[in-house]
Structure 1
Amino acid sequence: MMETDILERPINGQDGGQGDLLASAFSSEQVKAGHAAGKTILILGASPDQLPLYQAAKAAGAYVIGADANPNSMARPLADRFLLLKSRSAEDIIIQLDGQALDGVASPGNDSFHQTIYDLCRHYGLPNPPSFSAVAASCDKGFFSSQAQEMGIFAPTHCESKDPEVLKAFAQARALPLIVKPADSSGSKGLSFLQDLDQFQATFDKASSTSPTGLVIIEDYVTGDQFGVEAFRLDGRCVLTAVSQRGHTGPPDFLVTRHSVGFPLPGVLEADLVPAIDRIADALDITNGPLNFDLILAPDGRICFIEMGARLSGNGFPALVRETYGVDTQDWVLRLALGIDIAPPEQFLRPKAYGIQQILTAKKSGWLDGVSGLETLREHPAYKQDTLFVKSGDQVQQFKRTIDRLGVVLLAHEDMSLVNEALSRLETTVTFVIGDDNLSPNLSGNQE
């Protein structure tokens, strides 16, 4: 069944209220499920990456408390109660809740809130709290790389510090190029591709300014094909590893533009990935819950683990998993957060379809007049869903940061050729009309 997620409705001049938010993502059967009725969940963040969990929680009948510093957050209309604050401080949240009880807390798509979730779970005695080591590995890229190396797993050689002189000394001793980035941020924020030591101070300042703590990591640049992994563990075993070959903008920003799941993978990923993930999860005491990884398959055939988060991915990846594997990982996260039982799959899950999640972006900045070509795309049998994060009249930005995304489109089908055909239609027909009636291509990598 074709679905259209929320915000193309305001683009077409309609309301897009709370009923639309729910109906856009769930069938009537799901909306009536009610397995979380009587439970209260706090969701940290209310951006497009957290929106699907709000939808899943409402569909399951939960009372939803949202928290975000942005008063115009996309998911705010779905919250039964909304805390207008930054979500990094558990103490501030506890004060604002003012004695209101919680049954669970979660935040997909963001590494910033792991420590807050850890603290809230301990304060309220919530089910399935994250381990201290899982929080550390998710919030500190250097810690994760060091842990992987100690296990004999390939990760980049790195140096982590708040002192630019320490990092510069490391850079002077390594072959260029190098990657400089905040050690405790996500989504390519503050990342630089260091090709000349004269650029070092600028790259350090960029990374430090986007780190919540000023902690910066500099690491070897590992060449190869980029992959993302959405893994899920239940009862101490990995039941799912959805591997995505990533499209990205390349240096200097490496912004993700596409996820492709279900397509044939190199043999080393089929053979060696799951055992490595299970070793990492065991070492970090992750028995139940999601993990996502950034990987590079190096030219010598080794899998290089770049970073991880003990959470669901952003960029609509869970919806892609749902269409290709037939499981709803958002609902699994909801159930774990609330202590509701999950019936684990009897066998390791394999993809049942091919899928692509395409990030929609603008090649230039300006005012959005509208979108053309979506109706043609929606007629294709591989079209599943589109989610727009903007509406007519909004100011949009050229794609230079993750937050500049204009939306995502989900394509999936059992026939690989139909998925590729739908992608071609998307690339050639869907455009954002920006500025003075100029047509601006909306896809990363489209050279028109």
Structure 2
Amino acid sequence: MELSYDTPSVSNSNHVTDEDNFEKVNYAAGKTVLILGASPDQLPLYQVAKRAGAYVIGADANPNSIARPLADQFLLLESRNAEDIIRMLDGRTLHGVVSPGNDSFHETIYDLAKHYDLPNPPSRDAVNASCDKGFFSSRAQEINVLAPTHCTSHDISVLREFAKTRQLPLIVKPADSSGSKGLSFLTALDQLPTAYEKASSVSPTGLVIIEDYLSGEQFGVEAFRVNGRCVLSAVSQRGHTGPPDFLVTQHKVGFTLPELLERELVPTIEHIANALNIQNGPLNFDIIHTSDDRICFIEMGARLSGNGFPALVRETYGVDTQDWVLRLSLGMKIDVPGDFLRSKSYGIQQVLKAPKTGNLKKIIGLERIKEHPACKQVTLFVGPGDEVRTFERTVDRLGVVLLVHEDKMLLEQGLAFVESELSFEIEDTCQCEEAGVMKLEC
């Protein structure tokens, strides 16, 4: 069955123009953009690019990717190697290449930008910091920014010796993979072999990092730099599943932040961006406000965030960072406000999860949710008849609900309404051992 979703409404007050002041629609007509990845995290950029009139080439290893129907041409990728992609493009001219919500393609974008002489190519340090969590933490410490003490290696014995010197618990994860894929919460040293295998199995290169676990409140940061100036730093209070996986379940924007973040976060982001030679484009960070009132930078990506965070920024700040990214990739100017952007309303992006694994039969309460005054958008990644799984990986999300309102009480009422009224009717499945497939239980 074809996946269903609602097309996001775009309400951005800060549009961009080139020197000829072209129209806001069809500004990318005649341009070809390659979007690496076609999952829910890349879907909004496909929609923005199509609305802008670009010829869109999508690329993903999954032939059933949710964004594939929006692509004018689709590359079924078996490789992240730029040379392989260039061969697949077979001489077609590219004007831009992007991959929001995904760290897997930073190196590919770097190589493609050089080959096609594309505008606003990423710096070498930005790629390294995005692709290697150990590189970022080490570089942060070099410039006096707090980051976890860590060890990165392909060799489990090296990681074990490091772990013996540190206080438990520790975090083990792939050093070069995004999201919470392959993450383990290590509470005993005898758990390391299992954690190592879990992390290395989802790392493109088998590189594993082990680092100190710092307790505190988790935040996500979506920043944007234009001409060497940070014009936006949207900070999200994160809901998550906690140990051992720390999967993101919620973003909250516009709420009161700790005074330390209000005072020191943006100057520190500017410091990091300068050190990594990031003059233009998005940056996202995972940070912790520690129990002893410090800001610890866990990891970063020189890209837009996933989990629907850009949509939340669009509705609360009034700017479309997906549109900004597309324009930068095509070498077009961004007309940014003179003042630093502040949130104009409260917003919550809520992840929808299945209560159990099975086949989705019915979605209950969807229309009632859409009628709530705080509901801005419901995006579904599945539909009736699809197999769904309990929330053990980011890809297990059923969808997201975007709630935004200037009245905080009404917003929180909307969240309670989603939690009480929206449900998923799921038929049980059983494992058919002889056939090795899932089938409906009789």
- Flag whether TM exceeds 0.5 (same fold): yes
In the other structure, the counterpart of 1:226 is: 218
Q: Which amino acid aligns with 1:79?
A: A
Deviation, structure 1 residue 378? 1.2
Q: Could you say which residue in structure 1 is the equivalent of 2:418? A: 426
Question: Take 2:346 and 2:184, find their aligned partners in 1: how far apart are those partners?
Answer: 33
Look up the SS of the partner of 2:273 in the other structure: helix
Instruction: Answer yes or no: is 1:319 the counterpart of 2:305.
Output: no
**Whole-angstrom distance in 1 between the partners of 2:270 and 2:243:** 31
Equivalent of 2:98 in 106, 114, 131: 106
**SS class of match (1:105):** strand
Per the TM alignment, residue 136 of structure 1 is displaced from its structure 2 partner at its CA by: 0.1
Indicate if the aligned counterparts of 2:10 and 2:320 stay in contact, CA closer than 8 A. Answer: no
Distance in 1 of aligned mates of 2:34 and 2:9: 20
Q: Which residue of 2 aligns with 1:339?
A: 331
Q: Does the Cα contact within 8 Å between 1:68 and 1:87 map onto a contact in 2?
A: no
What does residue 127 of structure 1 align with? 119
The one-letter code matched in structure 2 to 1:139 is C
1:235-283 C-alpha deviation (Å, 9 max, x unpaired): 1010000000000000000000000001110000000000000000000
Name 1:153's counterpart in structure 2.
145
- In structure 2, how many angstroms separate the alpha carbons of the residues matched to 1:159 and 1:26? 43
Q: Distance in 2 between matches of 1:341 and 1:36?
A: 12
Aligned to 2:38, the other structure's residue is in SS state coil
Question: Which residue matches 1:406?
Answer: 398
Q: CA deviation at 1:376?
A: 1.5
Rate the CA distance shift 1:401–1:37 in 2: closer, same or farther, 3 A.
same
3-state SS of paired residue (2:360): strand
Match of 1:366 in 2: 358
Partner Cα distance (2:237, 2:395) in 1: 21
1:33 corresponds to which letter in structure 2?
V
Alpha-carbon deviation of 1:373?
Answer: 1.3
Of 427-436 and 258-267, the range deviating more from structure 2: 427-436
Aligned AA for 2:273?
A: A
Q: Is the 8 A contact 1:67 1:87 kept in 2?
A: no
Residues 45-444 of structure 1 aligned to structure 2 (within 5 Å): 45-86=37-78, 88-435=80-427
CA distance in 2, matches of 1:236, 1:344: 12
Q: How many residues align structurally?
A: 420
**What is the identity percentage for the equivalent residue pairs of Structure 1 and Structure 2?**
69
Q: Secondary structure at the match of 1:273?
A: helix
Partner SS, residue 73 of structure 1: coil
| Cα distance in 2 between the residues matched to 1:419 and 1:276 | 31
Match of 2:433?
none
Structure 2 gaps, min length 5: 16-22, 430-442
Instruction: Structure 1: give runs of 5+ residues left out of the alignment.
Output: 1-6, 438-448
Paired residue secondary structure (1:230): strand
Normalising by structure 2, we get a TM-score of 0.93
Distance 1:72 1:177 in 2: 39
- Distance between the aligned counterparts of 2:355 and 2:133, measured in 1? 31
The amino acid that maps onto 1:368 is L
Aligned to 2:434: none
Q: CA deviation at 1:87?
A: 5.3
Q: Distance in 1 between matches of 2:300 and 2:10?
A: 29
Contact 1:111 1:185 in 2 (8 A): yes
SS at match of 1:367: strand
Residue identity opposite 1:241 in structure 2: S
Q: Report the AA paired with residue 165 of structure 1.
A: S
Q: Can you list the C-alpha shifts for 1:208-234, whole angstroms capped at 9, x where unaligned?
A: 111000100000000000000000000
2:34 maps to amino acid: L
SS at match of 1:179: strand
**Alpha-carbon shift at residue 26 of structure 1 (Å):** 5.0
Distance 1:329 1:24 in 2: 13
With normalisation by structure 1, the TM-score equals 0.91
> Offset at 1:426?
0.5
Residue 26 of structure 1 contacts residue 59 of structure 1 at CA under 8 Å; is this kept in 2? no
Whether the 8 Å contact between 1:360 and 1:406 is mirrored in structure 2 is: yes
Q: State the alpha-carbon separation in 2 of the partners of residues 26 and 79 from structure 1.
A: 20
1:32 and 1:59 in contact (8 A); partners too: no
1:344 shift after superposition: 1.9
CA shift digits 1:56-80 (9 cap, x unpaired) = 0001110100011111000001101
Q: In the TM superposition, what whole-angstrom CA distance separates every residue of 1:16-39 from its partner, at most 9, and x where no partner exists?
A: 6xxx87x55458x99971111111
Alpha-carbon separation, structure 1, partners of 2:287 and 2:79: 28
2:35 is the counterpart of 1:43: yes
In structure 1, C-alpha distance between the alignment counterparts of 2:387 and 2:331, rounded to whole Å: 42
Native 8 Å contact 2:235 2:253 kept in 1: yes
CA distance in 1, matches of 2:355, 2:202: 24
Instruction: Look up the SS of the partner of 1:211 in the other structure.
Output: coil
Helix, strand or coil: the match of 2:265?
Answer: helix
Distance in 1 between residues matched to 2:201 and 2:419, nearest whole Å: 35
Q: CA RMSD of the aligned region, Å? A: 1.8
Structure-1 separation of matches of 2:278 and 2:323: 18
Q: Deviations over 1:129-185 (max 9, x none)?
A: 000000000000000000111111110000000000000001111110000000000
Tell me the CA shift for residue 86 of structure 1: 3.5
For the residues of structure 2 that align with 1:308 and 1:141, how far apart are their CA atoms? 8
The residue type paired with residue 312 of structure 2 is L
Distance 1:330 1:308 in 2: 18
